A and B are shown apart, each in its own frame.
Chain A
Amino acid sequence: MQYLIAFLVGGAICALGQLILDTTKCTNAHLLVGLVCLGAVLSGLGIYEPFQEFAGAGALIPVMGFGSSITKGMLSELERLGWEGLFTGAFEITGLGLAASIVFSSLFALLRKPHK
């Protein structure tokens, strides 16, 4: 059941994004930045957590979940460390993925030639 919910919610967010791309002058980059900011702000307002409880990966995997993870990390580290957490918390949840993307992208750039 949770898989179906993740499929429907994740799909709906992407479909909405596609509609925005097709019907407005919004570019891919603007859309992604808009979504990440939306996720970060909704998380700060306490709206994204209940949504993610319900939708699981349907809320985490779209880039809004990335923004939400930034805010969530900041807030939890803020409680643990004090003001330093506002800065270190940015990478508390996202750091693992970011460093992984740097390491593996570099590796594949070394190993493989670009396509086309």
Chain B
Amino acid sequence: MKPQEYQELVKENSPPRPLLRNTLWAFFVGGIISALGQVVLDVAQGAERTKAEAAAVTLAVMIFVGTVLTAFGIYDELAEKGGAGAAIPITGFANTVTAAAMEFRREGFLLGMAAKMFVIAGPVIVFGILSGFLVALAKALILGLF
């Protein structure tokens, strides 16, 4: 049996995923993380000069939170329940970086940890910058910002 066929067989025979429960958990976990982010954003807006700086600090603080929770194994449990609710917030982005760094450390610091740290987060950065670049370039050309 080919691996793909086996995968399909497993898929057919596994119980259907509880759609409603998964969605509610994702809503709850994602909502809590966003509300926590709002607390950080409020503090940052009081301390920073511009909105962009406040946003930058908020993203960094939430990334730090995600990193610490991952390092102590708490985020993995959160992700098991929350699914997309843990993956979509920026803390989930931090989680993938830290988890990969810790996981691949055993393959060495250079070719393991450093090389594979962004194995999941990398595509997000690459496509984020590509789409941002295209849309910013288009806007600059249309509005004649050059």
The A-contacting residues of B in range 2-54, CB under 8 angstroms, are 17, 19, 22-42, 52
Whether the Cβ atoms of A44 and B132 lie closer than 8 Å is: yes
Q: A18-B22, A57-B34 are contacts. A115–B76 as well, Cβ < 8 Å?
A: yes
Whether the Cβ atoms of A93 and B56 lie closer than 8 Å is: yes
- Chain A contacts for B23, CB-based, 8 A: 15, 18-19, 22
Most B CB contacts (10 A, CB to CB) among A14, A60, A73 go to A14
Q: Which residues of A contact B (CB under 8 A)?
A: 2-4, 6-15, 17-23, 28-29, 31-33, 35-37, 39-41, 43-45, 56-58, 60-63, 65-67, 69-76, 78-79, 82-83, 86-87, 89-90, 92-98, 100-102, 104-106, 108-115
Q: Please, could you name 26 A-B residue pairs with CB atoms under 8 Å apart, sorted by A?
A: A2-B42, A7-B32, A7-B38, A8-B31, A11-B30, A14-B89, A15-B26, A19-B19, A21-B83, A32-B88, A32-B124, A37-B128, A44-B138, A45-B135, A57-B34, A61-B34, A65-B59, A79-B145, A94-B56, A101-B94, A102-B97, A106-B113, A109-B113, A111-B71, A112-B72, A114-B102
